[in-house]
């Protein structure tokens, strides 16, 4: 369908409004909310950069360093700045993709569906995590794969070299995506599915193998780091994905499916299902384009569905697979809803898109209301062993500044009285707790955080603890115990230190009601050096 110049201009105006409003809302959320466990943890990737890390490749750490000017700019908004910028850039890229596969209206609808996705706007576009850089390189990879395998391969108005250059660029961006998350390898799996099912003559194209080789070259830092660290990252990820010791667990599968619906917006999923079932009757895309977009989506989605039969997966692991499904959905909607005819200016916003955006707005409003008021918490008489705050997920990102203020008062008093010294560190047994204490308390007080615990529980802090000199006899430490913690470390403290004493109990309140409790302990005079496997992971 041909779009008038007036309506094309109107579409772009609406697109910029969509991007601008979304960026403003996301920036406000990024400014006012404390960091979550994962965000504080990824901050350590920028604080202690390396060629790779136990849980993920190094790209997220590099992005944090880039957007904070090597951590010069501090605060939640600067740590999340990469997400705000990339979230906006991704919306523009998916518009370009939609326009490329069909028309401007498809691009505009794709931008709306992308914005309405909780994964895209909130998880990737607001909070900082490895999916943030992965999403950018994933979308750019899709663009150049489409250019190399469909548009330029079939039409090829430019020279053959320029056509194949798109494949090379796709290989480059897939390599960058692999440096963000290992799951980006499913882009090549999707290419394989498409070629074997629709275009086997591409197997004779040398540029395809050049592109794949370029992608693998980008993994060199990761491979080298694993080689020098006993392949710790590959072992860690393999144990997470391939654990089938308890057999099939349908609860995990239901969790994966439910999570995918929530993260990717249930309305978006329904539109996608309708689009796929309608394709045979309504050819809203060419067969080759539809085949490629579907091929790029299915491998990663089906892989994690199968894994979820045995392992407790996270719904964002498969979420990049829904990028191309957004494009299919947008093309489907564009074929059903047209810009107003007879030269009148205006855009029809289909009801499915209105429902999708409305659901995002409602979900965001409910989440923020819960964060600031806790209104969804139902007051019931709790069991005696109930841990305050353990059922409210928003508390993961709540009250850290208050805790830091109270800790600082205690620390100053302890130093003045001689109970502890300025060199006393904070001890933890979990990466999630350690990173929060590190960001909000230690980093502002010239302190450090060390961990005692197995590698799967301390993660990067095993390396950080080693870098900080591990442990020395006679040292003392603070230990902070949250009411949300599943286990206490006081018994561990009693084993390794001569004396363990409760120093202070702090309650974090919301609307003048206590929602979290922190106990600060003094672990005095280390008497036993923790075993190597519990305090460091070195070469």
Domain spans in the chain, listed from the N-terminal domain onward = 5-368, 393-535
Name the strands in the sheet holding 497-510, side by side, starting at the edge strand that comes first in the sequence: 449-451, 425-428, 477-482, 513-526, 497-510
Write down the pTM of the prediction: 0.94
pLDDT of residue 117: 98
pLDDT of residue 343: 45
What pLDDT, in 10s, does the model give residues 483-519?
999 888 999 999 999 999 999 999 999 999 999 999 9
Rounded-to-integer distance, Cα 433 and Cα 382, Å: 25
pLDDT along the chain (539 residues), means of 10: 67 94 98 96 96 96 97 96 98 97 94 98 97 98 93 54 86 98 97 94 92 96 95 88 74 94 96 95 92 97 94 93 98 82 61 96 95 80 64 92 96 96 95 96 95 94 94 96 90 94 95 93 96 79
CB 460 within 8 A of CB 48: yes
pLDDT of residue 342: 42
pLDDT of residue 150: 85
Residue 64: CB atoms within 10 Å: 27
Alpha helices (runs of H) in 147-219, residue ranges in sequence order = 152-154, 160-178, 186-198, 206-217
pLDDT of residue 344: 45
pLDDT of residue 535: 87
Q: What is the 3-state secondary structure (H, E, C) of 292-325?
A: HHHHHHHHHHHHHHHHCCCCCCCHHHCHHHHHHH
Rounded-to-integer distance, Cα 95 and Cα 106, Å: 8
pLDDT of residue 404: 96
Torsional class of 121: left (φ above 0), alpha (ψ -120 to 50), beta (otherwise): alpha
Selection from 61, 83, 66 nearest residue 222 by Cα = 61
């Amino acid at each position: 369908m041909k779009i008038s110049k007036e309506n094309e201009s109107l579409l772009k105006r609406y697109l910029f409004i969509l991007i601008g409003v979304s960026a403003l809302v996301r920036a406000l959320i990024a400014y006012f909310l404390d960091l979550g466990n994962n965000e504080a943890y990824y901050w350590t990737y920028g604080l202690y950069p390396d060629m790779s890390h136990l849980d993920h490749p190094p790209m997220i750490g590099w992005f944090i360093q880039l957007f904070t000017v090597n951590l010069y700019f501090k605060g939640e908004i600067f740590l999340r700045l990469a997400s705000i910028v990339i979230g906006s850039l991704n919306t523009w890229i998916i518009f370009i993709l939609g326009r490329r596969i069909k028309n401007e209206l498809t691009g505009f609808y794709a931008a709306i569906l992308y914005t309405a996705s909780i994964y895209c706007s909130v998880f990737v576009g607001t909070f900082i995590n490895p999916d943030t850089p992965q999403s950018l390189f994933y979308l750019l990879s899709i663009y150049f794969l489409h250019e190399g395998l469909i548009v330029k391969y079939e039409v090829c108005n430019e020279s053959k070299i320029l056509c194949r250059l798109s494949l090379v660029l796709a290989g480059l961006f897939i390599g960058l995506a692999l440096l963000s998350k290992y799951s980006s390898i499913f882009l090549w799996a999707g290419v394989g599915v498409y070629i074997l099912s629709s275009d086997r003559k591409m197997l004779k194209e040398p540029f395809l193998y050049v592109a794949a080789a370029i992608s693998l070259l980008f993994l060199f830092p990761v491979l080298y780091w694993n080689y020098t660290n006993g392949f710790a990252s590959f072992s860690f990820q393999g144990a997470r994905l391939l654990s089938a010791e308890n057999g099939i667990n349908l609860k995990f599968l239901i969790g994966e499916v439910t999570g995918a619906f929530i993260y990717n917006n249930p309305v978006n999923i329904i539109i996608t299902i309708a689009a796929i079932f309608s394709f045979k009757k309504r050819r809203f895309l060419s067969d080759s384009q539809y085949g490629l977009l579907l091929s790029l989506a299915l491998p990663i989605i089906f892989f994690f569905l199968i894994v979820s039969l045995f392992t407790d997966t996270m719904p964002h692991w498969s979420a990049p697979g829904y990028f191309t499904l957004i494009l299919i959905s947008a093309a489907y909607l564009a074929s059903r809803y047209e810009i107003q005819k007879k030269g009148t200016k205006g855009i029809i916003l289909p009801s499915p898109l209105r429902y999708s955006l409305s659901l995002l707005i409602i979900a965001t409003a409910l989440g923020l209301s819960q964060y600031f008021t806790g209104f969804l918490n139902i007051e019931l008489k709790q069991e005696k062993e109930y841990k305050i705050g353990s059922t409210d997920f928003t508390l993961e990102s709540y009250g850290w500044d208050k805790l830091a203020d109270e800790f600082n008062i205690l620390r100053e008093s302890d130093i003045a009285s001689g109970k502890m010294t300025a060199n006393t560190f904070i001890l933890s047994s979990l990466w999630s707790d350690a990173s929060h204490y590190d960001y909000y308390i230690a980093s502002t007080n010239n302190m450090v955080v060390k961990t005692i615990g197995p590698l799967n529980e301390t993660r990067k802090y095993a390396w950080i603890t080693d870098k900080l000199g591990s442990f020395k006899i006679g040292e003392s430490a603070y230990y902070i115990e949250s009411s949300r913690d599943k286990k206490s470390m006081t018994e561990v403290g009693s084993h390794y230190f001569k004396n363990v004493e409760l120093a202070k109990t702090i309650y974090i309140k919301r609307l003048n009601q206590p929602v979290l409790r922190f106990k600060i302990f003094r672990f005095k005079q280390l008497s036993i050096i923790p075993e190597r496997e519990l305090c460091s992971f070195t070469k």
